[in-house]
Chains A and B, each alone.
Chain A
Amino acid sequence: MTETVESIKATLKEYVLNEFLPGEDPEDLEDDTPLITGGIMDSISTIKFSLFVEEKYGVELQAHELSADYIDTLTAMATIIQSKLGE
């Protein structure tokens, strides 16, 4: 199955809601909701996230990529994962 940005986003959304936002209404988590700068994910959360991505997609995120510059929103996360899948 080919992963698209959209399908990756859907998977990540479910992951973020379960891990970091239990109890939140899924509708409130939008594609551009800031996750790191918005206080939803901290440094420990981003490490957990990178382990999840590696397990799920076989994609390794570099330390510098685990920052708000690269993965602050679902869209940004999905984009970087998708680009690495294509490599």
Chain B
Amino acid sequence: MGEILLHQLLEKSASQHADRVAVVEPNVGEASYAELNRLADTICETLRAKGVGEGDRVGIHLAKSIASLASIFGILKCGAAYVPVDSKAPAARNGFIFTDCAVRFVISRSPEGTGLDASQAVSQPFGSDDEFLADLLLVPGASDKPTDEIDVPARLAYILYTSGSTGKPKGVMLTHSNAFAFVDWCSEAFTPNKEDRFSSHAPFHFDLSILDIYLPLKHGARMVLIGEDAGRQPKTLASLISDERISVWYSTPSILRLLLEVKDIDSYDHSSLRIVFFAGEVFPIKHLRALIDLWPEPDYFNLYGPTETNVCTYYEVPTPLPEERTEPVPIGTVCSGDTAIVMDEQDAEVPPAAEGELYVTGPSVTSGYWNLPERNAIAFHTDAAGTKWYKTGDVVRQDDEGNYIYVSRRDRMIKRHGYRVELGEIEAALYGHDSITEAAVVAIPDQDGGLIVKAFISWIGEDRPSIIKLKRFCVENLPAYMIPDRFSVQPELPKTSTDKIDYQRLKEME
């Protein structure tokens, strides 16, 4: 190990399973392993001819497609790292990212959305006769930025930008071996085979895509691309799972909940499913229970890990769920060869079963953020033995079986009337209401220097929600100091481009 690189997974599968379908883009086409590898070679050769090589970065500004998948592998084959962005994000944000990490080029279909100089775009760089690559453009990066002083790990594979609390996205640098630590662990834990058909629901700029891309292609299995639009249409997803005979599903809980809302969901044939992975946010237990009722057969796994760690803990959900469980399922035990500890605010390990912040170290963990030395100094803790731990910002505790229980984001714990309040606990209580399908609680500063706790809910009850009744429900389920001050009823809660509830936007809502 350590010898093999991510794109060599594709090359190996292309030699072993040349004619098997590697990837399907529903309603567009499909590519065999040989063809996907050829497309990636075409991209690699063109980039190389333009001087791209080891130590460079290339942006991907494309909707999810066979072309964007081939771009990933083409960039890796050149020895460069890929930087995927949300193709629908504002040009200014994308421009910030591409300039920040000094890409040599961006592969795009709409150069004005890259935030770079669109007039410099090179058309048909990969030739004009290829059905998948014909309309791609290469936009040169703003290359005046010196990167020599930036501490870049060897064999950087990709940079994923996550939204920073400062408002500026920060680039998480991940190497080939970071990805392999997770992907190889998945191979052992879930034993995929070449008959499997994996959903690829997450956008490529979201870290869930690492499993979606590399695990199926490593095993000669099939990857079914789900675009951003189809990905949010529950009926389309329900049909796609049966039409494509998906066997391994992976998405955020928000998306799985949407599926549950499809009217005649139990009339679809979803018998092909054997594994359901979810990650990225807490799965409200009532929705998980409903999902398991709908699909009793597959194995369910909760995968946990900030982008900085890939996936660092996992939990196999027992099915059926024990009736008495009212809390979300644990995030489980460490995986990907990582090690975790629970620490207090003075960087000392907490007693067993006590709450504290989860620190993680190991082969799947990033070496740091692109060009943010101050941030890197805060985000990691180096212990007396010299081990560097990533501080997840997530508060956890361990249960009797050794599973980590997710408690809260560290920044989602507030003090209210002297009490410590976990906003997630209020949400969990609200989900206990039969008519509440989504709940998100935020704390907003008031004029007096205190905090207003505001609950956003989406409501399916026949009667209109009354705040008085909601508060009475809270009294029955929460201590008085945890009852939200304000309620706001929405048709649906806003989501991020990675299909999680968008807390930032909620905080800005009236």
Q: Which residues of A contact B (CB under 8 A)?
A: 20-25, 28-29, 33-34, 37-40, 42-44
Contacts and interface: CB of A to CB of B under 8 A. Distances in A.
Given A23-B487, A28-B466, A42-B480, 19 more contacts: A21-B467, A23-B467, A23-B486, A24-B468, A28-B467, A28-B469, A33-B468, A38-B468, A38-B472, A38-B475, A39-B471, A39-B474, A39-B480, A39-B483, A40-B471, A42-B417, A42-B483, A43-B417, A44-B417
A20 to B, nearest CB: 8
B481 interface: yes
Contacts of A22: 486
Contacts of B481: 42
Contacts, number: 40
A29 B466 CA distance: 10
Closest 7 CB pairs of A and B: A39-B475, A39-B471, A24-B467, A28-B466, A39-B483, A38-B472, A42-B480
A29 B417 contact: no
What secondary structure prevails in chain A residues at the interface with B?
loop
A16 to B, nearest CB: 10
Interface string B405-419: 000000000000100
Contacts of A29: 468
B488 interface: yes
A33 B467 CA distance: 12
A37 B487 contact: no
27 contacts: A20-B485, A21-B467, A23-B467, A23-B486, A23-B487, A23-B488, A24-B467, A24-B468, A25-B466, A28-B466, A28-B467, A28-B468, A28-B469, A29-B468, A38-B468, A38-B471, A38-B472, A39-B471, A39-B472, A39-B475, A39-B483, A40-B468, A40-B471, A42-B480, A42-B483, A43-B480, A44-B417
Interface string B96-127: 00000000000000000000000000000000
Contacts of A33: 468
A19 to B, nearest CB: 10
Nearest to A37: B475
A27 B118 CA distance: 58
Nearest to A42: B480
Interface residues of B, number: 17
Interface string B457-480: 000000010111101101100001
Nearest to B474: A39
A44 B450 CA distance: 12
B481 to A, nearest CB: 7
B460 to A, nearest CB: 19
A39 B467 CA distance: 10
A9 B506 CA distance: 35
A37 to B, nearest CB: 7
A80 B126 CA distance: 83
Nearest to A40: B471
Nearest to B487: A23
Interface in B468-510: 468-469, 471-472, 474-475, 480-481, 483, 485-488
Contacts of A42: 417, 480-481, 483
Name the residue in B464, B467, B468, B488 with the highest tally of chain A Cβ atoms < 10 Å from its Cβ.
B468
Contacts of A24: 466-468
Nearest to B477: A39
Nearest to A43: B417
A44 B452 CA distance: 12
Contacts of A37: 475
A59 B133 CA distance: 80
Contacts of A23: 467, 486-488
B457 to A, nearest CB: 12
Contacts of B468: 21, 24, 28-29, 33, 38, 40
A51 to B, nearest CB: 13
A38 B420 CA distance: 22
Nearest to A45: B485
B446 to A, nearest CB: 11
Contacts of A21: 467-468
Nearest to A25: B466
Contacts of B486: 22-23
A27 to B, nearest CB: 9
A24 B487 CA distance: 9
A21 to B, nearest CB: 5
A21 B471 CA distance: 10
Nearest to A33: B468
Nearest to B476: A39
A37 B475 CA distance: 7
Interface string B232-259: 0000000000000000000000000000
Interface in B416-474: 417, 464, 466-469, 471-472, 474
Contacts of B464: 25
Nearest to B450: A44
A25 B465 CA distance: 10
Residue among B466, B469, B487 facing the most chain A CB atoms (10 A cut-off): B466
A40 B473 CA distance: 11
